[in-house]
Amino acid sequence: MNHSIQNLPTSISISIPIPESARQIAQTFAQEQFNPEKARQVYLNTLSVLVVNTYLQMLDIPTDLENSHSWSAIGRLCADVADLAIEGIGTLECRPVRINANFCPIPAEVWHNRIGYVIVEIDTACQAGKILGFLPQVTSMSVDINQLQSLESLLEHLYRFRLVQLRQWLMGTYETRWEPVEKLFGQAGQTDSVMAFRSPRFKGVELNTPEKIHQAIAQLFINPGKGVGRELEQLKWANKSNIDLIVNLLQTIDDEEIRWNLAEILWMIDPDHPLVKARRILDLGMLLVGHPIALMVGILQKLDHTFAILTRLYPMEPKSYLPPGVKLIGLYENGEPFQEIQSRSKDDYIQFKFSAESREKFSIRVSLEDVMITENFIL
Amino acid sequence: MNELETKIHLLIQETCQHPQGSLERKKGLNQIILQIQHSGKLFGGYYMYNYAEALQETWSFFCGHFCRFDPNKASVFTWLNNHLKYRLKDEWEEYIKHQKNRIPPIIKDNGEVIDPLDSLIARPEPPPILEEIHQWLRQQEHQLRRIHVRNRPDINCYVLIQQRLPPETSWSVLAPEYGVAIATLSNFYQRECFPRLLNFGKSQDYI
């Protein structure tokens, strides 16, 4: 499909015009400095950041200038920074060079906490900035302009770093690679789908009639000592549809385990119900040593307005098991693991659940042998 | 229609088939911009009044509307150049109307290009925030000295922030002085020192 794209010549730099308003901002920032050399540095850094900002906006990649160190008076004064925060992705360093430079100096204070380095050539009159290319990492005092990677690989790189915006799932917006569970596994009832082989049953009860579904719901409450006897009473006289009943229970019960079980039943009988529809699946394909595996993530809003999250790993082929030794790992934002489970032989899925608060970031990692795939999320 | 135009039109058509927000669409648009820029067929009025502004507005317009482009009506270059020329005309009319909004010239009378960096003026004395930072450092000295590189209490937040305040001591001087790699110092600075400095700035309402 991309046939014609590949046939076009590959040139790598894009030129972004610099309007007067940008030069005025650069001048204001430069005049805060009390050393002419530093003033020139701040001027060019500011233009470079604005050029990359414009480029990313043209490509519909949201940035956060206000939260960049280059946009803080102390940041500019106390460090040689040309950083640009990109929403939900990280910080990109935008280093300026003048025309015909062969090398670009990279100050040591920006060697860390960056997801990449973009080099921008500012022309003599400061009327345009040419984005020459990018590097994913830098740990030396300067980089060779001829070693830069293309802007296309910058876009791919940013895409790998982006966070999955789970809050949007609750509002029904998803990235296309996160697919509806039914789409990947087929509709329940289809004999050849993975879901069909496990979905009609819930804890030993076949969910093929309203009575049986009601029975499955009731079963969740036959557990003395859990303090939910009242709900069971409610169940007995409730003359409601199963869906209404589950919705009612989800809105009143805070027992985590029961809530997930209810969600699971609702997924089977009404997968698009607003209360539980924030559930998607990512096809990891054959990335894990040739084993087709899919990662499912589901979110339930809790009564206290925090969120319960379920992550589950499935084999993609019908009636198959996960390869033994697959790990499903939850990581805090700083990369420290908070949960880790491993498949044994004949596991048809593995999963864990946890809670997270609004704006919290975490990662889910799937690994087998020495291959790993990490997905980053924000609530 | 020439070969290049046909190629770009096809590329636009292909790119628009990818969903909004997808990587493929972004890569496609990136490629379209590259091809248009490298064709050399965009109207070049570099020395015209506010050309950069008009050109940037044209690009923003293009990126927001390229999927509405109809190759049966005109070539992509005609489409873009028409937009650009209208923008240039607007800029010029604005200038005539309010002469005070005049932007600095790009070239001198002798035709030499003016580099704005040559006329950049730094302030004569340090800005007041610098003195405030020094005060904060003195007040926080005890706490800041306790945050240090592992097994190296002499490389701590207090001394490193002080040494990196303008006029700063360069990393390549500091590293051999402490006998550690530059990356060790700069990593510690980036992780422990700089964020504290920025937080102080926030608390003083310097954004």
**Residue type at position A298:** G
Least confident of A113-127, A225-239, B107-121, B131-145: A225-239
Neighbouring CB atoms inside 10 A of A319's CB total 11
Residue type, A15: S
- Number of Cβ within 10 Å of residue A357's Cβ equals 11
Q: Could you check whether the bond before residue A180 is cis, i.e. omega within 30 degrees of 0?
A: no
Q: What is the pLDDT of residue A188?
A: 45
| Model pLDDT, residue A111 | 93
Q: Do B120 and A36 touch (CB under 8 A)?
A: yes
Chain B CB contacts of A139 under 8 Å are: 183
Is 70 exceeded by the pLDDT of residue B12?
yes
Would you call A151 and B38 a contact, using CB atoms and an 8 Å cutoff? no
* Residue A10 confidence (pLDDT): 46
- Paired residues of A84 in beta bridges: A92
Report whether pLDDT(A194) > 80: no
Q: Evaluate if residue A190 carries a pLDDT over 60.
A: no
- pLDDT of A4 above 90: no
A156 has a chain B CB within 8 A of its CB: yes
Confidence of residue B22 (pLDDT cuts 50, 70, 90): confident
Q: Which of A139-143, A310-314, B201-205 has the lowest mean pLDDT?
A: B201-205
Predicted confidence band of residue A93 (pLDDT cuts 50, 70, 90): very high
Alpha helix segments (H runs only) across A83-227: 151-161, 166-170, 181-185, 194-198, 210-219
pLDDT at A189: 43
Nearest by CB to residue A127, choosing from B22, B46, B60, is B46
A152 contact B CB<8A: yes
pLDDT at A231: 63
Residue A12 has pLDDT above 90, yes or no: no
Which one of B8, B10, B22, B34 makes the best mutation probe of the A interface by having the most chain A beta carbons within 10 Å? Answer: B34
Q: pTM of the full predicted structure? A: 0.72
Q: B129 and A73 in contact by Cβ < 8 A? A: yes
Residues 315-374 of A with CB under 8 A from B: none
Provide the pLDDT for residue A3.
40
Q: Could you tell me which of A336, A41, A113 has the C-alpha nearest to residue B186?
A: A113
Query: Max Cα separation, chain B?
Result: 74
What integer is the mean pLDDT of A124-146? 94
Contacts of residue A132 in chain B, CB cutoff 8 Å?
none
Which chain B residues are within 8 Å of A74, Cβ to Cβ? 129, 133, 197-198, 200-201, 206
- The whole-number average pLDDT for the span A29-53 is 96
Of B10, B23, B206, the CB nearest to A73: B206
Contact between A40 and B34 using a beta-carbon 8 Å cutoff:
no
In this predicted structure, what is the pLDDT of residue A237?
A: 56
pLDDT tens for A337-366 read 999 999 998 898 999 999 999 889 899 999
Selected residue of A33, A45, A127 to mutate for chain B interface (largest B Cβ count, 10 A): A127
Mean pLDDT (chain B) is 91
Q: For residue A200, name the pLDDT band (cuts at 50, 70, 90).
A: low
Cα A212 to Cα A236, A257, A340: the distances in Å are 14, 20, 35
pLDDT (tens digit, 9 = 90+) per residue, B147-202? 999 999 999 999 999 999 999 999 999 999 999 999 999 999 998 999 999 999 88
**Which pLDDT score, from 0 to 100, does residue B173 have?**
96
pLDDT at residue A198 is higher than 60: no
- Is the per-residue pLDDT at B33 higher than 50? yes
**Which chain A residues in 61-90 lie under 8 Å from chain B, judged by CB atoms?**
61, 66, 69, 71-75, 77-79
The mean-pLDDT minimum among A49-53, A120-124, B201-205 falls in B201-205
**Band of residue A290 on the pLDDT scale cut at 50, 70, 90:** confident
Mean pLDDT for A124-149 is 94
Residue A210 pLDDT greater than 90, yes or no: no
Query: Across residues B66-86, what is the average pLDDT?
Result: 94
Tell me what the pLDDT averaged over chain A comes to. Answer: 85
Query: Which pLDDT does position A42 carry in this prediction?
Result: 97
Query: Quick one: pLDDT at residue A316?
Result: 83
* Structural tokens at position B164: 């990196």
Q: Which of B56, B167, B189 faces A54 most closely, judged by CB atoms?
A: B56
Q: What is residue B197's predicted lDDT score, i.e. its pLDDT?
A: 93
- Buried b / exposed e along A103-131 (16+ C-beta atoms within 10 A): ebebbbbbbebbbbbbbbbbbbbbbbbbb
A and B: number of Cβ contacts within 8 A: 195
Neighbours of A148 (CB within 10 A): 21
Q: Identify the bridge partners of residue A310 per DSSP, sorted by sequence position.
A: A298, A353
How distant is the Cα of A80 from the closest Cα of chain B, in angstroms? 10
| Cβ–Cβ below 8 Å for A14 and B197 | no
Please name the member of A59, A128, A139 whose beta carbon is closest to the beta carbon of B26. A59
Instruction: Name the band, by pLDDT with cuts 50, 70 and 90, for residue A138.
Output: very high
Over residues A222-271, the pLDDT tens digits come to 765 555 566 666 665 566 788 888 888 888 888 888 889 889 888 888 88
Residue from the list B21, B34, B103 with its beta carbon closest to the beta carbon of A20: B103
pLDDT at B62 over 90: yes
CB A56 within 8 Å of CB A63: yes
pLDDT at residue number A197 = 43
Whether the pLDDT of residue A2 is over 60: the answer is no
Confidence of residue A101 (pLDDT cuts 50, 70, 90): very high
Q: What is the pLDDT of residue B1?
A: 66
Could you read off the pLDDT of A317-341 as tens digits, one per residue?
877 889 999 999 999 988 889 999 9
Is the minimum CB–CB distance between A159 and chain B shorter than 8 Å?
yes
What is the per-residue pLDDT for B77?
A: 95
Contact B38 A111 (CB under 8 A): no
Q: A residues 2-61 near B, CB within 8 Å?
A: 2, 4-5, 7-9, 11-12, 14-21, 23, 27, 30-36, 38-40, 43-44, 54, 57-61
Q: Are A182 and A268 in contact (CB under 8 A)?
A: no
pLDDT at B100: 65
Q: What count of other Cβ atoms lies within 10 Å of the Cβ of residue B155?
A: 20
Overall average pLDDT of the B2-30 stretch: 91
